[in-house]
Structure 1
């Protein structure tokens, strides 16, 4: 009943090797100013924060494009700010409205040319499906940026997530209905048989081994610990340097110790991921086992990372060159926005000289919180991949696939627990009943519901009689 070896257990997911999500988000950095700035400010320019998971996305590559996109905008803003200065001089002091009008036209041409180059210039064309090469991403703008991007890239290869806020699984998408159950591990499978003691680490390994045989698309299995970013400051296992970042990975020995001795603020999970639809749909189940002297609690948290919003796929609709009618429409659509771009250009031009959003002052304030108040939340603030995801499935079959994957994984997990219990002489009838209820009848215990030794409850403060359980026909399990 040996599970996967340590290298297999801690291997970083490959997410199917698809690169479409990465190039879509690279394109979004050029097309949306707010998105590009947020990537730099809230991820790349944060020297103390952990990094949330970004399934099927190469975050450092996206950040390199984000820096380049911001540099392009800064160059345009400098030109617009200069034109605004001359426009005001000639209109208010020199009294030459004709020259001022010419300067406004020049500003409009600048905005129009920038938008045209953004859609059809070399950066965007390099992100087309047949030309995209992650290795050809723009070089970091400085040595400091290069170091931070390298640190960020290491999180994708690690097994630690330092989170902020409510949900530890934020990077993996939307939380679905979680469920949990508990059963007695001291009850013998039959009279005269003494239940065998077991190490919960062996249970993790057995379940992982059984999951590895599932024939699901791009199946990935990992062990990951989720750490509360607000409680990590004094814990040198996860934060060796209070003025640095949380660690990207822990050793298998530390992971196993957390399984055997559960902690409130650092919790290990067995993560199972299935990637489909070109890497855009990621369905996951995080499973945790808590062993006490007399019982075993099984906790399961499903998540679904939905496909990207449609506007992020615009790069696939762009031709190698613009149609004349599209050029005319773009010229007309940039006329009014030029006024607002001109008005905002002075501040943007000044702020653009600090591409990391005045990182020096922000880091000084954070260092004071860490060293003087001894309080700081090291958890990731932004999930690069999830923030660009839609709020729901976009196709009927995407929802069907997510449901199928979750049911298959849940069934295999519960079946593996039953096998493990039977092999150790533990009574499993109650466990099998609950397995059938969860898988075949779709009952998930959550929001105040409970799963007891002789009943399964679903919904807020609800209950199900044990007589109903006995009336449900038993089905064969594989």
Structure 2
């Protein structure tokens, strides 16, 4: 008997991670600064890929939050100046025997302090209100903050379809797949004999159709997208370039004193597959994103061809959920009246420090900006004078630094393992389809060999997540602070900001 329609169960928002980042940017000035430093400010280093994140929305909210804090500090600095002037007037009046001005100045002091309290409360309540609306409102996160500059938004949109990733020399020997997270699998699959032709139904050998690595990358990607049946999988060929090489690649770096491009002509990407060099290689990148974007599994494959064999180099990575730093918005869960009372209490506690530290905060912000501008100009001067080799690469990404392996839950470990195996199967099926179309015998792609690939150095998502993470060859490690398997993530709740000269 057929089962009728079943009730729908609640699910995570599809943009959960982006919303949590936007909410944290509204509440945490340090995180807002980190976002803008990586994606919205002048620089020469490549920005990390915002995997599974609506980076336009996050930058909009970070810009809005930082502008609001700047306005608060400027008003507080003016009130502090007025407060000090009133104190000076009261002191001068008392020493010169003028009681009236001294009394008026003293009477005005509480009004200044109350005004400071109102300024702090308004900024704090605004940030809490926006964070709450982001968590509960139906609208998209991007429309709940004003747009930034059109050119900046265009560049951010291009990151979503990036086909060039530039990695830093510091991670070249560990993890060139910057931003992908923790490595869970690294393997060279058994070679496939491409010199053995397939046979027609009559048993006569067919003439093999010539192909190169770029052809198989392209055709496998197309087959996976159209015929694999995997919902939600994204597939793209990307050229991974070492940052020190960019100075010799005008097609990737039209302005040597600016950031590298994120989207380049596809011919260069194909060349990186067919004719790779050390530091310039094209990988077929597969990605599946779990519910709400909490977990992302990615696979990077490179086809290696000789005259008689085809081999896949395979690397798989996992981005865990966001870390404790992004739990901050959950502390603002309360009814409107209670939330206002909490905001008032927090504002009363924070006002003295913010008021008397406002001038220092403004000066410190200006000094940091000036120092960065000087360093950036010095670097650009060295580039123009050709003083040395510049590394344009990045070491990680905002999403990777935000990840925290101990937050991987049982279902997420299970789903990550499932996604990984589905991607392996899709690549094997697509490879068999490609070889069959090119009249190559596929005896090396039997079910027995596929099972062997699954069983050899596969990922092991088990054990207590508080005490274990997965190593690069399927070994469980007990120190989750260190990047397991060569990943570049710090793995902690408060990782350092990405360098961005």
TM-score (norm 2): 0.73
> Residue 337 of structure 1: which of 339, 342, 350 is its match?
350
Cα distance in 1 between the residues matched to 2:420 and 2:23 = 32
Contact kept in structure 1, 2:178 and 2:394, CA below 8 Å: no
**Cα distance, 1:88–1:229 mapped onto 2, change above 3 Å:** same
Determine the structure 1 residue equivalent to 2:49: 53
Q: Tell me the SS of whatever aligns to 1:238.
A: coil
Contact kept in structure 2, 1:60 and 1:150, CA below 8 Å: no
**1:417-428 map, 5 Å:** 417-418=431-432, 420=434, 424-425=439-440, 428=443
> Residue 169 of structure 1: which of 174, 177, 180 is its match?
177
> Residue 25 of structure 2: which of 5, 29, 49 is its match?
29
Q: Deviations over 1:252-276 (max 9, x none)?
A: 3322222111111121111111122
Q: Deviations over 1:139-181 (max 9, x none)?
A: 33xxxx5433422322223311222341332323333222113
Question: Aligned pairs, how many?
Answer: 428
Worse-matched range after superposition: 192-201 or 81-90: 192-201
Worse-matched range after superposition: 212-221 or 178-187: 178-187
Tell me how far 1:209 sits from its aligned partner.
Answer: 4.0
Determine the structure 2 residue equivalent to 1:436: 451
Determine the structure 1 residue equivalent to 2:224: 211
Determine the structure 1 residue equivalent to 2:361: 348
Q: Tell me the SS of whatever aligns to 1:170.
A: coil
Determine the structure 1 residue equivalent to 2:160: 156
**1:164-313 map, 5 Å:** 164=168, 165-166=170-171, 167-183=175-191, 185=193, 188=196, 196=208, 198-212=211-225, 213-309=227-323, 312=326
Q: Deviations over 1:172-223 (max 9, x none)?
A: 3333222113526366479997994542233223432442333334111111
Contact kept in structure 2, 1:162 and 1:229, CA below 8 Å: yes
**Cα distance, 1:382–1:349 mapped onto 2, change above 3 Å:** farther
TM-score (norm 1): 0.76
Tell me how far 1:242 sits from its aligned partner.
Answer: 1.0
Determine the structure 1 residue equivalent to 2:488: none
Contact kept in structure 2, 1:30 and 1:66, CA below 8 Å: yes
Q: Tell me the SS of whatever aligns to 1:46.
A: coil
Cα distance in 2 between the residues matched to 1:295 and 1:310 = 48
User: Structure 1: which 5+ residue stretches go unaligned?
Assistant: 1-15, 445-456, 461-478
Determine the structure 2 residue equivalent to 1:464: none
Tell me how far 1:247 sits from its aligned partner.
Answer: 2.1
Cα distance in 2 between the residues matched to 1:361 and 1:70 = 22
Determine the structure 1 residue equivalent to 2:426: 412
Cα distance in 2 between the residues matched to 1:336 and 1:17 = 35
Kindly report the root-mean-square deviation, in angstroms, between the aligned alpha carbons of the 2 structures.
Answer: 3.8
**Does 1:74 pair with 2:70?**
yes
Worse-matched range after superposition: 390-399 or 332-341: 332-341
Contact kept in structure 2, 1:162 and 1:380, CA below 8 Å: yes
Cα distance in 2 between the residues matched to 1:147 and 1:416 = 39
Cα distance in 2 between the residues matched to 1:17 and 1:120 = 20
Worse-matched range after superposition: 167-176 or 283-292: 167-176
Contact kept in structure 2, 1:37 and 1:66, CA below 8 Å: yes
**1:41-120 map, 5 Å:** 41-88=37-84, 94-95=90-91, 103-104=112-113, 106-120=115-129
Cα distance in 2 between the residues matched to 1:458 and 1:51 = 29
Q: Deviations over 1:436-464 (max 9, x none)?
A: 222145547xxxxxxxxxxxx9689xxxx
**Cα distance, 1:168–1:124 mapped onto 2, change above 3 Å:** farther
Tell me how far 1:238 sits from its aligned partner.
Answer: 1.4
Cα distance in 2 between the residues matched to 1:24 and 1:428 = 49
Cα distance in 1 between the residues matched to 2:292 and 2:158 = 24
Q: Tell me the SS of whatever aligns to 1:175.
A: strand
Q: Tell me the SS of whatever aligns to 2:248.
A: coil
Tell me how far 1:26 sits from its aligned partner.
Answer: 2.1
User: Structure 2: which 5+ residue stretches go unaligned?
Assistant: 1-11, 92-101, 460-471, 476-501
